[in-house]
Amino acid sequence: QHLRIFSLFYTLIKKMKLLSNLILLKPHGQSIRKEQQVYFMQENNTIIIISILLLSILLVIIINARLKRKNTIKKKALQEAERELIRKQEIILQRELEKKELEHKINDAFEQVLQLAKTNDPAFLARFKEVYPDFCKSLLAEYPNLLNSEMTFCAYLKLNLTSKEIARYTFVTHK
């Protein structure tokens, strides 16, 4: 469409030049006066200048429209990227909340197991196996003949209890 407009203006300019050349020629053997020639040349120059101005304005409008279109596309892409970033931030926030919740549960479970150990409760080993299943499985895989008392002692060590604390909780004297 833009090329069609440019070609129309180009054709118009060619026709104006052709017209001015015909006027400047001597029609039917008569000479045209110098004043008429100057007038037609000025008129032709005015038309050419107006055509060039119109072409320039049209070119500026076309460039502006393309830039607006590109700007709109970039704005849409930016808005989409912002939405994606907000969605990812929400996911991160949700995961952090889940992480804190799990840490709280682990801390509660650890405290519960520690309390059972301090009171030398018989349910200690069962609860320890629930809280630390991988530890117990790997220990039994390495030492299949491990007794419950030995497993309990390993559990105390896993909880980072000192030998004095283990002796105090199991009612054994420390040497």
| The predicted structure's pLDDT at residue 19 | 62
Buried b (16+ CB within 10 A) or exposed e, 131-140: bbeeebeebe
DSSP one-letter string for 90-132: HHHHHHHHHHHHHHHHHHHHHHHHHHHHHTT-TTHHHHHHHH-
Q: Is the pLDDT of residue 7 over 60?
A: yes
The count of C-alpha atoms lying within 13 angstroms of the C-alpha of 64, restricted to the half-sphere facing its C-beta, is 6
The string of pLDDT tens digits covering residues 131-154 is 888 988 998 899 989 888 889 889
